[in-house]
Amino acid sequence: MILLGSTGSIGVNTLAVAKKFHIPVEVLCAGTNITLLNQQIQEFNPKIIVIANKEDYHKLCYSNAKVFFGNDGIIQAIQEAKSHLVVNALVGFTGLYPSLIAKQCQKKLALANKESLVIGGWLFEDYPITPIDSEHFGIWYLLNNRPIEKIIITASGGAFRDMDINQIPMQKAQQALQHPNWKMGKKITIDSATMVNKLFEILEARWLFKQSNITALIEKTSSIHAILNFQDGSSTAHFANPDMQLPIAYALDPIQAKQQHIIKLFCFEETFCFCFEKIDTKRYPIWSIKEQLLENPKLGVVLNASNEILVQYFLQEKILFGEIAQNLFKVLDFFSNQCHINSIEELFELDNKVRIYTKEILK
């Protein structure tokens, strides 16, 4: 297995499942958390290691492994490795090119990097992808070759789901990082609070399942991950305790996943009720662009690039929470007619223009 992003939450869970399934780990790729990476190296003995910075080379504890660096090192590792399975758990735009290299090398791509599909879903239309995401796993689990009328995914609602709406725009990063259900990486926690993360998942579902009638509802227990409305009028929901090891297990080895106890069985009698709420655009203003994104999914490049800059500024306390959505609207409006991209070069060019423009309006 080639694991990109081994020290993140998905990476750690992937290694736990790999150990349980006795799957050898050929490549470990991490950023700057060398302490955790060293623990993983000692346990899994990879043949290739990739780290972000050459300056951290002296901190590594390894035996005979090859060591590569940065984005070029990730590409080199995918190309050189004999393993057929690539788990892409990188965060952000950085994850796109490794996904394309996995496709080019005809390796199986287990994808936790949302941005690969958000910004470049059209580049993978002819290539099967196994999503590592509870919502998309739930959709896949329910399909059973029946004609779909509508796809519904669920959202936790993020840090400000119960806060007075008038107070939300003035919030700072410390408050936005207090997710009510679990602890995740900083960026995805902010994206959960703005509902950008759910827009990303809507776009992912559009490319993965070739459907455009897709929406989301808030379900605060995070126990129901997907609902399918079928053309015959019936609906089916996917219930599971929120544990990423379930979709990871099916991505790594579906045969073993079916035969083993992967997560704790869901206990219905311990859950008093399930309640679904519409996503209120007063609380989550950016949700109002959902239909626009589904009609023009290449706008995902603009949404992602601008959002990455805005979240970075927000975490650095250069802007307040309400300014994320305000500026996203400005950027999306400016670039709404400039998304006629037909090549990877044009995609990278547009991404760069959006980042520059976003920084300009923030000055």
Binding residues for Mn(2+): 133, 135, 201
CA distances to 111, 123, 138, 289, 354 from 129, rounded to whole Å, are: 7, 12, 15, 26, 27
Numbered residues of the known binding site for 1-deoxy-D-xylulose 5-phosphate = 114, 134-135, 156, 179, 192, 197-198, 201
C-alpha to C-alpha distance for 139 and 209, rounded to whole angstroms: 9
Contact (CB, 8 A) for 198 and 287: yes
Q: What are the binding residues? A: 7-10, 31, 33, 113-115, 133-135, 156, 179, 185, 192, 197-198, 201
**What are residue 2's phi and psi, to 5 degrees?**
-105, 115
Work out the burial of residue 49: count CB atoms within 10 Å of its CB; fewer than 13 is exposed, 13-18 middle, 19 or more buried. Answer: buried
Give the DSSP H or E segment for 90: none
CA–chain centroid gap for 214, Å, is 17
Rounded to 5°, the CA angle 215-217-221 comes to 145
Which residues belong to the annotated binding site for NADPH? 7-10, 31, 33, 113, 115, 185
User: How far, in Å, CA of 113 to CA of 133, rounded?
Assistant: 9
Amino acid at 59: K
- CA–CA dist 160, 174 (Å, integer): 12
Q: Name the amino acid, one letter, at 329.
A: F
Q: How many CB atoms lie within 10 A of CB 238?
A: 20
